[in-house]
Structure 1
């Protein structure tokens, strides 16, 4: 799946994506979390979904954690009342493309539930504390998404 940078993204995200893609993950895999209220450098992956309306590939950088043989990401949208577009896209089509540093692969996305969700949520809050603030700011339950390599 081709990686594509949306013109609708904030400039700092477009810059992060451009650096990540052009350097094949060498520059961009680590993100300065102080820019988002966190601490230190944190790892990010690139998630590419197919637009549910446009059918075009859309790529977004996301903080990630390990989840078994795969990875987990948080559909927080900074605590906004609605889910992020990338989450709605993977609900419509769970087959996605993931890049972690230079490693690129196809994956299937699913929403974690129950004990798995709680454990992964806590793992992600431990690595990026603002997630707890995002949850407190919204009535929706923020999804924890597991990306399992195909």
Structure 2
């Protein structure tokens, strides 16, 4: 198994573990890791067309948008969920127990310049992730629809 496959398997295992802990605890544990709310993102697989979901955190969010960071822990590849959103930006997010329809888009350079300091302030690990990779980590703005 190559190193990318190991990283991907580890990420999937962690996501399944997070899902299990949330379910078993009745959504009482792991709801705000590192002080950020847990987000369950529902996308459509860009290749399969099947429903996909994963757990992330949102360092910046308000009543009109939820911001996600496509860091993949500083990996040199974008995460699958980000590539799914690029193909199909209409998605759903569950945050604080509420399911919301969103339209996702990658922040442009000016938006990211404003958001990045807020993101790093919420969780300093994002700055370390950016140092680990040569790619510019995308910031995703999920605008709440309706």
TM-score (normalizing by structure 2):
0.82
Contact kept? 1:24, 1:102, Cα under 8 Å: no
Shift of 1:59: 1.0
Q: Match for residue 38 of structure 2?
A: 44
Question: Cα 1:67–1:138, aligned 2, differ >3 Å: closer, same or farther?
Answer: farther
**Unmatched tracts of structure 1, length 5 or more:** 1-7, 34-40
Shift of 1:24: 7.0
Shift of 1:122: 1.3
Shift of 1:27: 3.9
Q: Deviations over 1:120-148 (max 9, x none)?
A: 11111111111111111111100000011
Instruction: Please point out which of 98, 106, 109 is paired with 1:103.
Output: 98
TM-score (normalizing by structure 1):
0.80
Number of matched residues?
Answer: 135
Alpha-carbon RMSD across the aligned residues, in angstroms, is: 2.0
Q: Match for residue 18 of structure 1?
A: 20
